[in-house]
Chain A
Amino acid sequence: MRPAAVLRLPLAGLIVLAVLAPLLGLGIDGAAFASLAERAPALGRYGVNTLLLAASAAGLAALLGTACAWLIERCRFAGRDICAFALFLPFALPPYLAAFIWSDLADRIGIGFALRNPLGAALIMALALYPYVYFLVRPAFSQQTGALSAAARTLGCTPWQAFCKVSLPLARPAIAIGALLVAMETANDIAVAEDYGLATLGYFVYDSWLNRGERAAAAAAAILLALLALAASWSETVSRIRQRHHQSQLRTFASEKIAKLSGGKALAAAGVCWLPVLLGFAIPVLALIRHALLAPAVAWQRLPAGLLGTALLIAGAAALAYLLAAAFAFVRSRSRVPGLFEMLARSGYAIPGSVFALGCLGAAAAAASILKAITGVSLYWLWVVAPVVLIYALAVRYLAVAAGALEAGVAALSPGLDKTARSCGLSRWQRLRMVHLPLMAPALAAGLLLIATDIAKELPLTLILRPFGMTTLAVEAYGFAADEDLLGAAPPALALVALAAAGLIVVHRHFRAGNRISAG
């Protein structure tokens, strides 16, 4: 057997254990399942609410993200370049903060009730999270060859039919992964659900465990939530298992036609693209800037410490997440159960962050006592000085994003290309370096930006698992927001926005580089 094959099985076991440890660490026992049966009717009600909310937020986000990505990639209109850039920015704001800001604005004119309801929450979540879809779908559109839609047009399709029958199905994996992430994050949100008075499973799990100490009830709801998330994830993967589309990378022969829009059409396209930027970013950030001018000095003074902590976590956790995702891709390629590894990769998203953090505490405690039994040394002090558990937790939590980016990147490779490279006598590593990585670069870079921004604004894990003396921008912002003080929250929130914008500038360059290579 080749060494790779020998490695595969233990590696698979290790990865599965590492990824599932936080869920195992929750210590879910028979009592939880008994509680699940006992509370079935009530939990069923929460489950339906959660599904409706998550589906509407994901649907809206998919619509916004796909429409904007398509307009940006396939049309030219005034302001298109800036808009392409700005469409990512709403992602820099944690959804809860956008929700609080809109809530406050609505209260100022006495219409808070019109916003704080399930529909308002779905809209807020979609506006804050559609960049998941937008960013994963854009590379999918930009790398599609025009030959297929041209063929569709010669067969009598209208442009709209060609889009629906050719372009959209080709982008479907990216759309589905993005929408799933939006749905899972919505189902697991706590702060928006609490403020908007929603009855979701995510809120129920948090509320019963951390507010009332009802562990069994919380665990029962967490099981249900995880099952729903995993079912959605599995059905998404399995439903497209037979849909393998490969396309020529020789785009110079048939570049997709770029439509130059003018007049009313250009105005409409610009309107569609600027609307999410306006509602999801410009208005909340203008409010934040106004708040920041009135913020107490202490909110500004702690920014450097917050920035340092944020940078440290991004560096550590993003690297680990990609490493895990790569190992995942390695073992997955031989898996015989369709969808199993995709489902595993997304399991970190399957339960609310605060409960996931409790699971990490449990897993860390178990690991520490096993290590102590073997070595005789307690490793608990590591928690006090280094964010070991936190970095691990963040990497597993956002593994879904890294794996999604990797998958989107792999989708851009065609087997024919690999065969050609092989016939040129390139080794495995040469193919990886010279062919695969350059083609995957746009998707990987987009994924990196998503994961870094996710880590930067992450809350419950960072709050609960960080060591003494460590703070992040998100922690600083929440410290004020939890006291219902939006003024103090503004400076760290604006720093988060600035950080995301800086990351975007860096990644955007790779985007274009990637396009050039695949087009060449």
Chain B
Amino acid sequence: MKKPYFVPGGRLLAATLIALAGMAAASADQVNVYTERQQVFLDDIFAAFTEATGIEVEALYIDKGAVERLASEGEASPADVIILTDIGRLHEVVKQELSAPADSPEVQAAVPAWLRHPQGLWVALTRRARLVYAHNDEQQLPAHYEDLAAAGMEGSLCLRSGSHPYNVALFAAYLDRYGEEKALGWLSGLNQNLAREPQGNDRAQIKGVASGECRYAIANSYYYFKMLNSDDSAERDAAAQVQLVAPTFVDGGTHVNVSGAAIARHAPHPEAALALINFMVSSQAQKIYAERNFEMPVREDVAMTGQLADASALIESDSQQLADIAQLRSEAARLAVEAGLAK
């Protein structure tokens, strides 16, 4: 008689596993995070949160695909909070109806309205400006993004792949402001001025300026600051030869993208989730972000230090609707292909 012997064993195993699962995921003083950000930026913030509230943070670092995992898990998902970079990914969460409102008084007080969803379905945590870099000796600095597409500057511009989300968001911002025809003209101008085929990451563009391959480069500002503060002398030396320029569009405004967070719709710990988001927009956490990753805080009252404060002062505040940029990504990516900036 094998069967009666087998069943209690199976039950015992199931009970043990369920108990284990309970310990791992359902503890009350815990918040579970799915994030497409990297661990190095968040560790200090999570540690500070646990110290302040006693709530443990269990985080899963998924470079790309956190949104899709959350969607496929549905109601069964253990995730409470999802933290993403790029407005496009935050928009995807809203589009797939995966988030719940996070519109606490703390969030409303800390984060300007243009940096959060009207119903709080996402909240920006940092701002990331996409700026221009030129050699220290360069006399002719572009005041506007449009200047990079001007005639007579052939062979001067470097940027990473035209289909990379950072570039697509910049193109979408332009498209949103000036419409398809002008956007295509601008993108074609950029393509005409390329010093090399779009390639490399953002740091490679800055290195290209240092080595003389490129006269101007486009890159996110925090990479420049990380290079200036790198433990690698070659990166420091390259960045030291390069200056940062904060252009605006002709009618004002510098292109800014965000990283942000949302509360998962089926969060098992909704209170802890909101507490984490409140903490992440607090002065304490915002200061860590600025110091750790050289991103600009969403709070206006957080003091930034040294180089970041100087750069931030250059950046003209721009409240262009981020949701519009997110929606125009596909169109912008298509135009980039048409203009030859992406393949």
Q: How many whole Å from B19's CB to the nearest CB in chain A? A: 10
Residue of B40, B73, B77, B333 touching A488 (CB-CB under 8 A): B40
B226–A195 contact, CB under 8 A?
no
A480–B40 contact, CB under 8 A?
yes
B72–A211 contact, CB under 8 A?
no
List the A side residues contacting B14 at CB < 8 Å: 377
Contact of A361 with B17 at beta-carbon distance under 8 Å, contacts A107-B208, A485-B226 already known:
no
B40–A385 contact, CB under 8 A?
no
A357–B65 contact, CB under 8 A?
yes
B208–A112 contact, CB under 8 A?
yes
- Is there a chain A Cβ closer than 8 Å to B64's Cβ? yes
Q: How many whole Å from B135's CB to the nearest CB in chain A? A: 13
- Is there a chain B Cβ closer than 8 Å to A464's Cβ? yes
Contact of A113 with B163 at beta-carbon distance under 8 Å, contacts A103-B204, A199-B343, A484-B203 already known:
no
Distance between Cα atoms of A109 and B234 in the complex (Å): 11
Q: How many whole Å from A189's CB to the nearest CB in chain B? A: 14
- Is there a chain B Cβ closer than 8 Å to A358's Cβ? yes
B88–A213 contact, CB under 8 A?
yes
List the A side residues contacting B77 at CB < 8 Å: 380
Q: How many whole Å from B157's CB to the nearest CB in chain A? A: 13
Distance between Cα atoms of A195 and B160 in the complex (Å): 8
| Closest partner residue, chain B, to A358 (CB atom) | B68
Cβ contacts A to B, 10 pairs, < 8 Å: A107-B207, A195-B201, A211-B168, A464-B64, A464-B68, A466-B60, A479-B39, A483-B38, A484-B201, A484-B202
List the A side residues contacting B160 at CB < 8 Å: 197
| Closest partner residue, chain A, to B332 (CB atom) | A212
- Is there a chain A Cβ closer than 8 Å to B316's Cβ? no
A478–B199 contact, CB under 8 A?
no
Distance between Cα atoms of A140 and B104 in the complex (Å): 67
| Closest partner residue, chain B, to A46 (CB atom) | B343
- Is there a chain B Cβ closer than 8 Å to A438's Cβ? no
Distance between Cα atoms of A42 and B343 in the complex (Å): 9
Most chain B CB inside 10 Å of its own CB: which residue of A112, A206, A377, A465: A112
Q: Mark B35-55, 1 if CB is under 8 A from A, else 0.
A: 000111001000000000000
B20–A385 contact, CB under 8 A?
yes
Q: How many whole Å from B7's CB to the nearest CB in chain A? A: 13
B196–A487 contact, CB under 8 A?
no
Residue of A211, A214, A357, A483 touching B165 (CB-CB under 8 A): A211
Q: How many whole Å from A117's CB to the nearest CB in chain B? A: 7
Name B's A-contacting residues (CB within 8 A).
14, 17-18, 20-21, 24-25, 32, 38-40, 43, 58, 60-66, 68-69, 72-74, 76-78, 86, 88, 91-92, 95, 160-161, 163-165, 168, 196-204, 207-208, 211-213, 223, 226, 230-232, 234, 329-330, 333, 337, 342-343
B204–A107 contact, CB under 8 A?
yes
Residue of A112, A206, A207, A357 touching B200 (CB-CB under 8 A): A112
A482–B38 contact, CB under 8 A?
yes
Contact of A110 with B212 at beta-carbon distance under 8 Å, contacts A212-B88, A212-B330 already known:
yes
B21–A382 contact, CB under 8 A?
yes
A362–B72 contact, CB under 8 A?
yes
- Is there a chain B Cβ closer than 8 Å to A298's Cβ? yes
- Is there a chain B Cβ closer than 8 Å to A460's Cβ? yes
Contact of A385 with B163 at beta-carbon distance under 8 Å, contacts A107-B200, A212-B330 already known:
no
- Is there a chain B Cβ closer than 8 Å to A328's Cβ? no
A483–B199 contact, CB under 8 A?
no
| Closest partner residue, chain A, to B169 (CB atom) | A211
| Closest partner residue, chain A, to B230 (CB atom) | A487
Distance between Cα atoms of A9 and B38 in the complex (Å): 47
Q: How many whole Å from A173's CB to the nearest CB in chain B? A: 36
Distance between Cα atoms of A100 and B199 in the complex (Å): 12
Distance between Cα atoms of A296 and B21 in the complex (Å): 34
Distance between Cα atoms of A368 and B74 in the complex (Å): 11
- Is there a chain B Cβ closer than 8 Å to A294's Cβ? yes
B69–A468 contact, CB under 8 A?
no
List the B side residues contacting A381 at CB < 8 Å: 17-18, 21, 25, 76, 78
| Closest partner residue, chain A, to B222 (CB atom) | A483
| Closest partner residue, chain A, to B204 (CB atom) | A107
A197–B68 contact, CB under 8 A?
no
Q: How many whole Å from A187's CB to the nearest CB in chain B? A: 15
- Is there a chain B Cβ closer than 8 Å to A354's Cβ? yes
| Closest partner residue, chain B, to A211 (CB atom) | B165
Residue of A213, A482, A486 touching B63 (CB-CB under 8 A): A482
Q: 9 smallest A-B Cβ distances: which pairs?
A: A199-B343, A110-B211, A380-B76, A381-B21, A197-B199, A361-B72, A464-B65, A116-B199, A113-B196
List the A side residues contacting B58 at CB < 8 Å: 468-469
Distance between Cα atoms of A485 and B232 in the complex (Å): 10
B72–A364 contact, CB under 8 A?
yes
Within 8 A of B (CB), among A484-514: 484-488
- Is there a chain B Cβ closer than 8 Å to A49's Cβ? yes
B213–A483 contact, CB under 8 A?
no
A212–B199 contact, CB under 8 A?
no
